Structure 1
Amino acid sequence: MTIRSTIMDTNSFRAEHAAELDPKTLTLTRRREDVLGGSYRLFYRKPVHLVRGQGQYLWDAHGEKYLDMYNNVASVGHAHPAVVEAVHSQMRQLNTHTRYLHERILDYTDDLRTTLPAYLDAEAYKAMYMCTGSEANDLALRVAKAHTGGTGLIATTEAYHGNSELSSSVSPALGSGQPIGESVWLLPAPDSYRTGIDGNGPDGIGAWFARQVRAAITDMESKGVEFAGFIADSIFSSDGVLTGSHLKEAIDVVHAAGGIFIADEVQPGFARTGDHFWGFAAHGVVPDAITMGKPMGNGIPVAGLLAREEVLASFSDTVPYFNTFGGNPVSMAAAQAVLDVIRTEGLQQHAQEVGAETLQSFKELADAHDAVGDVRGTGLFMGFELVKDRGTREPDKELALDMLEELRSRGVLTSVAGPHGNVLKLRPPLPFDRDDIGWAVDALHESLTVLS
């Protein structure tokens, strides 16, 4: 297997690992090869056969317990009883598409809009629903082109925004086998650690990134390509988990050039970052479109797009849109249950407080290990960057991949991110608690000690 994608191919099982597997695991991996398409990937050199989940924990077929440090799909916790009951109850009544009247999709939309930051006019945003974040981003990109009349798009060099033809065209993290769109300009993400640029003001990372955006727009226009928009995940998850409040200047440039800003909230949304319900709010920016997916239904496929009415009208006034399963009553019941759980269990404040304690513990751990170049994060979303040398900041991808295997052997599941594949992406379900911090810290410490 040729390794081409940091998010798909780095932390993955390959044929040469087969000799290490027990007979049952080997049989399952061979069955997958026989019946599934070759694009699928398995995590870990020794794949994990999961059979049960509860909260932030998972159990495999051998009864081993794991701490899930990666999964934002089951955002409010694996098998959350409130979500299970909501889905079960609605399924017993009705499940159909959106061409019939039903209250759930309307009630949910009213509730969803209340989560937008106070500085936005929530009623100015209209909703559309689909099944996956890929579909949400695909539609948002179509809306951007319809509204502006342009085709030129900007994304970051290690972004992941989906796997439809259009969303994958702005997803370089999928690797060299996935072509980038002809009218897509890729920019380095605002990485303070790697650029050495921090802070605000004319010499800060925000101004630096705004200059990159302005230069890209100028370049595309010089080539006869009209600018349509900029799409970004506000925590730059696939670019290595880059936190801060540095996007406003860049978004001002986007709007001044007549483009729209698509805030991809599939990863930072739904209280994940603690300080805010939506990741873009940390930057104080006004998105023209907000896309959401994975954590929205806690495992039930549901995704959405909130877009400013006048922006969405450019598309919806001329193109009928219908998604058979998007916005169905069962998916809306799951999505509503997720919002209710976040509120009743105080998960945003929980993410803020426990996330801060976890980040501090990780930073204290980093002080004892020279292989840790940087630890950063917000809420329950952290990046743990591994380097060969702290002075040169040379990335250590090999160490990162070995760390994943060591962590797995200690019951901690996660993966890597970043253009160099050297950043551990630590993003547990929101119920991750203070009692779990020690498990995570000990596993990191022991793994670093063994590998050093």
Structure 2
Amino acid sequence: MRGEGVWLTTDDGRALLDAYNNVPSVGHANPRVLAALCRQAAVLNTHTRYLHEGVVRYAERVTADMPPGLGSAVFTCSGSEANDLALRMANAWHGGTGVIVTSNAYHGVTAAAAQASPSLGPVAPHVRTVAPPLGDEPAEAFAAAVAAAAADLHAAGHGPATLLVDSVMASDGVITDAEGALAAAAEAVRAAGGLYVADEVQAGFGRLGRMWGFQHHGAVPDIVTLGKPMGNGHPIGGLVARTDIADRFGRRTRYFNTFGGNTVSAAVGLAVLDEIEDRNLVGHARTEGAHLGSALARLAGRHPAVVSAVRGTGLYYGIELREGAASSAALTTAALEGLLARGVLVGRCGPADNVIKVRPPLVIAPPELELLTDALDATLADLTTP
């Protein structure tokens, strides 16, 4: 019924620690964001056919944090729309329709995004899937898989291809430790005439202890898609593209989004950026995320019968559960219920639905992280008690 910071209140007055919600990245009911929203809504709230300095200022702020060359911003109302538009831009650039994604990826709910989201169901004929990179495999293995997928799409008449990857690979079970694999894959798809699109809807805006998730992988994208955390709950999305890609798209076709980048959304987006910068939330995610990772590793050592792996960085972690030698979705359900009983909300992910997903608002403090790990410790202990 209510939210404040990292806390939610139920209809019966119970307080729950929100260790799941990456949407309110700077905290539920953030005063600065709320004030910016109300202030702008009281002055001007209109569609995007009217140019407004706030929208331009927001585009300048977002692109300033991007690698050189990525200088054109286009705004939408959601990450799904952003991924849909990125595929359109990529197709207009290289002339192909092929898309390469990881094997359990999720990229959105528009037709184009859903067709490239194997976690939702069968992918379209112009989409190929590759297994996500693993930390114990050489980077070249993932790049070789991407190159093979691109060649197959060419042979089927769908090439060149676009490599679309969620920078945290959340639906694949949270994959962050495959050093160099994403950068090598990006070069492989470019060598085949394609482009690399970094889906930053979950990983962006400081979540992994860097402003952008692709920075963690040492990769440089051609297009970056944005969503959820940029509005702290307000519906805003967008993309940043290489200027030459955006210019060609603009010359060949047109794109209009009635509310994508409207005046109120821009004001909210600027307030979120101010909060991230003024409170050093990127550094906070990096520092507290390191402490969280160490605590989760200790828990894995204490509960080896049920925890098979801990993966993540910053304030995004996945705890993979098993029952005996097999992964267990039922065990994950029991873990989520046990955490809920202890007042902590988390999520789940992974192709076998057996990974606890931890991604609290970036403003979470050390005492709240301790509460989270203590609750997880007790819950895992319950799972191993006969």
Same fold (TM over 0.5): yes
2:327 aligned with 1:395: yes
d(CA) in 2 for partners of 1:318 and 1:248?
29
How big is the shift at 1:388?
Answer: 2.1
2:285 aligned with 1:363: no
2:351 aligned with 1:408: no
2:284 aligned counterpart, secondary structure: helix
d(CA) in 1 for partners of 2:366 and 2:26?
16
d(CA) in 2 for partners of 1:343 and 1:107?
16
Match of 2:218 in 1: 284
Selected match of 1:349 from 283, 290, 307: 283
Q: Superposition pairs for residues 132-211 of structure 1, below 5 Å?
A: 132-174=78-120, 176=121, 179-192=122-135, 197-198=136-137, 204=138, 206-211=139-144
Selected match of 1:424 from 349, 352, 356: 356
RMSD of aligned Cα (Å): 1.2
TM-score by length of 2: 0.96
2:369 aligned counterpart, secondary structure: helix
Match of 2:75 in 1: 129
Selected match of 1:97 from 47, 65, 78: 47
How big is the shift at 1:222?
Answer: 2.3
How big is the shift at 1:65?
Answer: 0.7
2:73 aligned counterpart, secondary structure: strand
Selected match of 1:448 from 375, 380, 386: 380
CA change 1:438–1:286 in 2 (3 A) is: closer
How big is the shift at 1:284?
Answer: 2.1
How big is the shift at 1:449?
Answer: 1.6
2:1 aligned with 1:68: no
TM-score by length of 1: 0.83
d(CA) in 1 for partners of 2:163 and 2:31?
38
Equivalent residue letter for 1:213 = V
2:204 aligned with 1:269: yes
Match of 2:246 in 1: 312
Match of 2:184 in 1: 249
Q: Identity over the aligned pairs, expressed in percent?
A: 45
Equivalent residue letter for 1:228 = A
d(CA) in 2 for partners of 1:112 and 1:313?
18
In the TM superposition, what whole-angstrom CA distance separates every residue of 1:260-289 from its partner, at most 9, and x where no partner exists? 111000000001101x10000122222111
In the TM superposition, what whole-angstrom CA distance separates every residue of 1:140-162 from its partner, at most 9, and x where no partner exists? 01111111110111001110100
d(CA) in 2 for partners of 1:442 and 1:283?
31
d(CA) in 2 for partners of 1:224 and 1:166?
18
2:255 aligned with 1:321: yes
Match of 2:229 in 1: 295
Structure 2: 5+ residue stretches without partners? none
Structure 1: 5+ residue stretches without partners? 1-50, 199-203
1:66 aligned counterpart, secondary structure: strand
1:367 aligned counterpart, secondary structure: helix
2:353 aligned counterpart, secondary structure: coil
How big is the shift at 1:313?
Answer: 2.3
d(CA) in 1 for partners of 2:376 and 2:216?
29
d(CA) in 1 for partners of 2:186 and 2:311?
23
Instruction: Tell me, yes or no, if the aligned pair for 2:317 and 2:359 is still in contact at 8 Å.
Output: yes
How big is the shift at 1:126?
Answer: 0.3
d(CA) in 1 for partners of 2:44 and 2:23?
25
2:119 aligned counterpart, secondary structure: helix
d(CA) in 1 for partners of 2:124 and 2:157?
15
2:193 aligned counterpart, secondary structure: coil
Equivalent residue letter for 1:121 = P
In the TM superposition, what whole-angstrom CA distance separates every residue of 1:333-361 from its partner, at most 9, and x where no partner exists? 00000000001111111111111101111
d(CA) in 1 for partners of 2:17 and 2:335?
15
How big is the shift at 1:217?
Answer: 1.4
Match of 1:237 in 2: 170
